[in-house]
Structure 1
Amino acid sequence: MAYNLDYVRITDVKILIGGWTISDWGVDQLKISILNEKMEAAEDVKLARNDRKDLVEAGLVEEENSKCGFTIEFPYEEEKIYYLSIADKKKRKRIELKPEVIRRNNKVEARRGFAKQLVKCINKKNIEKGIKHIREHGVKGLKEYIVSRVNASAMPYGEWFELNKPTKKELEKQKKDKFEFEPKISIIVPTYKTPINFLREMIDSVIDQTYSNWELCIADGSEGDSAVEAELEKYAKQDDRIKYTLLEKNEGISGNTNAALKLATGEYVGLFDHDDILAPNALYEVVKALQEKEYDILYTDEDKITGDGKEHNDPNFKPDFSMDLFCSHNYITHFFVVKTNIIKKIGGFRPEYDGSQDYDLMFRCIESADSIKHIPMILYHWRIHMNSVAGDPASKMYAYDAGKRAIEDHFKRIGVKAKVEHTGLWGMYHVIYETPGNPLVSIIIPNKDHTDDLDKCVKSIINKSKYKNIEFIIIENNSTEDKTFAYYEKLQKEYENVKVVKWEEGFNYSAINNYGVSFAKGEYLLFLNNDTEMITPTAINELLGCCMREDVGVVGAKLLYSDDTVQHAGVVVGFGGYAGHVNMGIRRDDYGYMVRAQISCNYSAVTAACMITKKELFEQVGGFDEQFVVACNDVDYCLKVRETGKWVVFNAFSEWYHYESKSRGYEDTPEKLKRFEGEVAKFQKKWPEILEKGDPFYNPNFPIDKAPFTLG
């Protein structure tokens, strides 16, 4: 028996459930019911069975079991517990339904992971569909296809927001909560001719905070705007936690904010714009996080609101701290909280960076910080209106030049040689690292026959690459065609930097590559599949320059199918109980979620189909783990590198075609699929913590059993 809950939602009067379930006994033998606390049938339950053609098309169920879907609705009482019961002739599953939990999470996680459901559903009758898709798109492609088909309808953000915001009851409880560490948080706001309705909503959102140890520090540069002055005076008289100063003249965004900073007496400072809104639990969640550790910096997720404040849209569900993403654009923005001693030590805001003054300040704060905490909750609402950057990025083009200078200055301060270019996307930057000393790069390519593919791969690099200090280590792996060996001989005669070494044993991707490394003379190792082709002439420069940073351990490339759709743009751990590619299948020029398919950023892993790493580091962590014969080896290696404290980087500016698994073939037989499942089981045993806690570079508001970057 297998099941999946597509949604569990709650209204003021009803609980609504939708999903599907199958059994070896047939769907007609399944009994679905709602039970009360006494394990008796609940009253007034409406149950409907429905057709799920999407599951048939995905190959998860046979045609005769297509009526496996169900929808349920029933009235509830707030304090009571209910159970969804699913039973066949042999098994029964009961899923607990607590109204309070449903309201907070808007879902009940199925007790079996998606991967287990998939394994349960693969059988002799539908394996042919799966094999066909594997042949065309690979195993990872099959997983992505199934996830996307089964979860094609993502929840709209507006609906998600309403279901996940704290209830009045929760907010009242927060007001009564006491923490061991209750720092004062100084919220600093520069105002300048702020529309009165926006000003009131901004101040009211601070007054409405469920955590009370705050002060609001406002510096007004409106130059005699009597309406603004009167409003500030009124609020300051009503609440002594509100401070303000009237500046003699407008000193610009940095000068005005520094004036507000001078009023701050709290242990922490929070940056707040004069026309935005804080969620009522924003400070509560910040202080709650500080009970774990007195972090130097904290930041939250955010969304945008319309001018009238009625609609929430365009959420930014951020990863945990990602240095390379931050160097590509200011993804942190709001809500940013930092220790007061840090912001004052670095000298506050610098007027020469007006427009991107926050970006510049954050770089300098980060350089002085030892700990950074991401709170994955929408706690800040950035208002969109005619004069805001949120509504029209082009309205402040000067800001992006200031942002470019902020990044350049950061690298100067830390001693990294790099130049920064605009990407053509507002506020997105391309950092180009120098390659001092031009070290030797050893390109490791396993190969079995398929000399046309290998030739295309090698020649594309030789003919296109702007980086020339390279050597090729081609690992001959049990080829059977005479022309293959003739090609090897010809290639080595033609190019002095090509060396073919022979692997005598059976196929083991990890062992073969480890063997190849033993012949490498380079300081850097570029692992490359034989079915790849260089697109951008600076592809190796991009990978190497980034990898030469002291804090970087692995860099992966952007890989495209032959039709210019994305095959690889980063790997998230957790999909299918193992890992999966994100932004897969989008067009080459598509942005991906939060533009992450077009810029450099950090992930927990990248694919070794095109991956560079330091040779010294490779040897330090023991190379590829040879228990992973075919799958999981690259993700495992990246996680080992992450344990050393170094970044894994996806570089979108290093582009290659990847024709995928031509030489070895696909995992397209029941035997190969069984081996793949076995390696996944080994991976799960080796890395239980990240699978349990979640990938730090994938926001936990995105369910791991849904299509990437979709809400459930």
Structure 2
Amino acid sequence: MNEQQRKRIRELSRYAVTVAREEGLPAMAKRSAGFIKRRFFGKKARYLPDKKVLAAQRALYEGKTRADCGLPTISILTPLYNTPPVYLRAFLDSFVGQTAPNGQLCLADASDSAHPEVGEIVREYQAKNQQIVYKKIENQGIAQNTNAAAALADGEYLALADHDDVLAPHAMYEMGRAILDLRAAGQPDGFLYSDEALFEKDIRRPRAAHFKPDYAPDYLLCCNYICHLAVFRRELYEQIGGERPECNGSQDHDLFLRLIEKVGGAAHLPQVLYYWRVHAGSTSGGTDAKPYVAAAAKRALADHLARTGQKGEVTDGLFPSTYRVRWEVEGEPKVSVLIPNKDHTDDLEQCLHSLYARTLWENYEVIVIENNSEKPETFAYYKEAQRRYEGLRVVQYPGKGFNFSAINNFGRKYASGSYLLLLNNDVEITDGEWMTELVRQCARPRGGAICGAMLYYPDDTIQHAGVITGLGGYAGHSHKYKNRGGSGYMFRAATVQDFSAVTGACLLVKTSVWDAVGGLDERFAVAFNDVDFCLRVRDAGYRVIWTPYAWLYHHESKSRGSDEKDPIKERRFAAEQQRLYDQHGRDNILNDPYYNPSLTHDREDFSESADLKRLQSGELRVRYRAQ
């Protein structure tokens, strides 16, 4: 067992103790049993509601029609093209088997003359279900075929479904209820999406789920994470002219961007309402099956930027089906780099040398905040460093002891930049674009107030790829300890992301925003000061962004000792944990909008939760986020 594994076991042990203390031993035992069950036993039907939940829904709407059931009608748009009969029947069965009657199925059949069985099968089902509407059309491509299906719809809402996939049995009920919930809360109900799962033969034996975050605009610019099941107002679809043929291949991604421009955000229902079949030729099986997708996606993104007045170049991302916007930066704003230091001149020299030698962004200043160093050679080093590094300043923090928040608040007094860049003294810069990329994400219209970087351990494993609140009960780092070069869960280690927080080891923030929220909270002396700061910025209506295109090496924990063996430090850490709950609320911490309630809080690898009861009970409700 290596040190990283031992550290993770200690973290989980502390979390178990916290659960036992706050919720009791039975709760801790229940979570442990759920973890063992998920890890070592079958996963059959794990994303479907309990049978009694489905039965209750069916009983509620017994004898009802979509006209009198009280739920808004959702017309599902599905183009057909030479659909294999076994896939078509499975899809039609999933519509006919819905627990609520508020659905309409609109089928536009562009199959060629060699596949008359497609229409024959549909007419067979039409005889049993009057909510299936069918029309034979000429094949004009996926976008136009979808528009033809929309012309058959009479529902207040539309949804998209592929002809070879399967709807979850409660899809129409849950989406209808979600719309009513949004209306009751006075929130926009124009665009909603759910989670989804991949399957091969039987939805009761899914391969994996796509557990998505709540609406994340920067993530959507990098990939179409929304996919299925998407539901939107028919009047909005008609206002924007439906799907665009020029974006065939990424027509849904393009549609979602245009709808969100109208709505101003999107609502996420964190339930698995759609099953995406994996087979040769499907997009769920890999982008190599449809190589024209990338060109269409880049056009959709470029058009979105043009419509919204944003300036940037859309390029390929790090992986197929991902994209990058190289934002245009107006002017050359000044960045003030704040580096706390106590002795450890070897670390500091490595940091400063790499920063000055490799950073391509030119308009910056560096302020080293001297914090109670004890070695005479440290002060000799400062004098030498200020001679060697142009514009370097060393300022003397007047306080005693280590207080990360107070030290950086003090350093801010000497900063003259439009941006502050908090930087640990034990990081090493190897890529010249790092500061430029951080500035790109903030110095643009609708950009972030904060941007964080990818940090690697020296062994090329991930130390930080964004912070997720609730991990370990408080906060943790996305994809920690994963090998460099991977895409992560749903490309989340390889795309620009919206997060609730990023680490203060490398954090760029607009100086105006820093001042507006009062800087760092000095009652968080060591732990969670960055998390608290980012949450206050997020809750004030600003965005927190993380980018994989700014990356550094982090020689972590050299600037201060471990808290795990010192009783005084351990008590302080526990107090700061409690303060995080006190300041932001335990429920808020445990429900990060950019995570998913069906993902685990026990690890930092985006594994499924050991307890999916909230998913299986239908307890999870819709959540709206604005741009």
Q: What range is the shorter-chain TM-score in? A: 0.7 to 0.9
Q: Which structure is larger by alpha-carbon Rg, 1 or 2?
A: 1
Correspondence 1:200 to 2:89: yes
Q: Summarize the Cα distance change of 1:437–1:60 in structure 2 as closer, same or farther, 3 Å threshold.
A: closer
**Are 1:576 and 2:472 an aligned pair?**
yes
Structure 2 Cα separation of the partners of residues 516 and 201 of structure 1: 64
Matched, 1:210 2:99: yes
Among 514, 520, 545, which residue is 2:440 paired with? 545
**C-alpha separation in 1, matches of 2:11 and 2:393:** 46
Q: Kindly report which structure 2 residues correspond to 1:249-328, keeping only aligned pairs within 5 A, or say none.
A: 249-294=138-183, 295-307=189-201, 311-328=205-222
Encode CA deviations 1:296-328: one digit per residue, 9 max, x unaligned.
211111111115667410311111111121111
- 2:337·2:423 contact (CA, 8 Å) conserved in 1? yes
Aligned residue for 1:243, secondary structure, equals strand
- Deviation, 1:498, is 1.4
Contact 1:303–1:312 under 8 Å retained in 2? yes
The counterpart of 1:241, out of the listed 124, 128, 131, is 131
Counterpart residue type for residue 448 of structure 1: K
Kindly indicate whether the alpha-carbon contact (under 8 Å) linking 1:157 and 1:313 is maintained by their aligned counterparts in 2.
Answer: no
Show the counterpart of 1:657: 553
The yes-or-no answer on 1:227 pairing with 2:117 is: yes
TM-score, normalised with respect to structure 2: 0.88
Residue matched to 1:681 = 578
Return the offset for 1:644: 1.7
Q: Is the 8 A contact 2:159 2:232 kept in 1?
A: yes
Q: Is the aligned partner of 1:602 residue 2:498?
A: yes
For 2:472, what is the secondary structure of its paired residue? Answer: helix
- After TM superposition, the structure 1 = structure 2 runs for residues 50-89 of structure 1, keeping only pairs within 5 Å, are 58=9
Is the 1:254–1:349 contact (alpha carbons within 8 Å) kept by the matching residues of 2? yes
SS at match of 1:333: coil
Give the letter aligned to residue 503 of structure 2: T
How far apart, CA to CA, are the structure 2 residues paired with 1:519 and 1:93? 49
Displacement after TM superposition at 1:291 (Å): 2.6
Q: Is the 8 A contact 1:472 1:499 kept in 2?
A: yes
Residue 371 of structure 1 and its aligned partner are, at CA, apart by 4.5
Distance of 2:50 and 2:36 partners within structure 1: 26
Question: Does structure 2 retain, via aligned residues, the 8 Å contact 1:55–1:61?
Answer: no
When structure 1 is superposed on structure 2, of 199-208 and 700-709 the one drifting more is: 700-709
Residues 330-351 of structure 1, C-alpha deviations (whole Å, 9 max, x = no match): 1111111111121111111111
What is the CA–CA distance in structure 2 between the aligned matches of 1:166 and 1:315, rounded to whole Å? 14
**Letter paired with 1:167:** D
- Mapped contact 2:350–2:428 kept (Cα < 8 A): yes
8 Å contact kept, 2:215–2:268: yes
Give 1:589-668 correspondences, 5 Å limit: 589-667=485-563, 668=565
Maintained 8 Å contact 1:296/1:370: no
Report the equivalent of 1:432: 326
Cα deviation per residue 1:599-654 (whole Å; 9 max; x = unaligned)?
21122111010011110011111110111111110000000011122221111111
Query: 1:51-200 maps to which residues of 2 (within 5 A)?
Result: 58=9, 95=26, 109-110=27-28, 155=38, 159-177=42-60, 182-200=71-89
Q: Which amino acid aligns with 1:415?
A: G
- In the superposition, the TM-score normalised over structure 1's length comes to 0.77
In the alignment, the residues of structure 1 paired with residue 24 and residue 73 of structure 2 have an alpha-carbon distance, to the nearest angstrom, of 48
1:251: Cα distance to partner? 0.5
Q: Which residue of 2 aligns with 1:700?
A: 597
Q: Are residues 502 and 415 of structure 1, via their aligned partners in 2, closer, same or farther at CA, if it must alter by over 3 Å? A: same
Aligned to 2:253: 359
Question: How far, CA to CA, are the matches of 2:388 and 2:57 in structure 1?
Answer: 73
Unaligned runs of 5+ in 1: 1-53, 63-85, 87-91, 96-108, 115-149
For residues 158 and 412 of structure 1, what CA distance do their matches in structure 2 show?
51
* 1:276 shift after superposition: 0.5
Deviation at 1:423, TM superposition (A): 2.7
Alpha-carbon shift at residue 176 of structure 1 (Å): 3.1
Do the aligned residues in 2 keep the contact of 1:573 with 1:690 (CA within 8 Å)? Answer: no
Residue type of the partner of 2:428? E
How far has the Cα of 1:357 moved from its partner? 0.5
Preserved CA contact (<8 Å) 1:360 1:403: yes
Q: Does 1:672 align with 2:569?
A: yes
Deviation at 1:666, TM superposition (A): 2.7
Q: Please give the alpha-carbon distance, in whole angstroms, between the structure 1 residues aligned to 2:455 and 2:366.
A: 20
Does 2:448 match 1:558? no
Output the aligned Cα RMSD. Answer: 2.8
Task: Please tell me the residue identity of whatever aligns with 1:632.
Answer: F
Task: Give the CA deviation at 1:230.
Answer: 1.8
- Residues 583, 551 of structure 1: CA spacing in aligned structure 2 closer, same or farther, 3 A cutoff? same
User: Secondary structure of the residue that 2:571 maps to in structure 1?
Assistant: helix
Q: What letter is aligned with 1:700?
A: P
SS of equivalent residue, structure 1 residue 666:
coil
Contact 2:581 2:589 in 1 (8 A): no
Gaps of 5+ in 2: 14-19, 62-67, 184-188, 611-627
Mapped to 1, the partners of 2:294 and 2:358 lie a distance apart of 32
1:585/1:60 CA distance change after superposition, 3 Å:
closer
Paired AA for residue 638 in structure 1: C
2 CA distance for matches of 1:643 and 1:381? 34
Given that 1:210 and 1:281 are in contact with CA atoms closer than 8 Å, whether structure 2 keeps it comes out as: yes
Higher mean displacement: 539-548 or 228-237: 228-237
Deviation for aligned residue 1:545: 0.4
1:457 deviates by 0.9
| Counterpart residue number, 1:442 | 336
Higher relative contact order (CA 8 A, sep 6+): 2
* Aligned mates of 1:226, 1:380 — CA distance in 2: 27
TM-fit CA distance, 1:420:
2.0
Once structures 1 and 2 are overlaid, which stretch shifts more, 302-311 or 592-601?
302-311
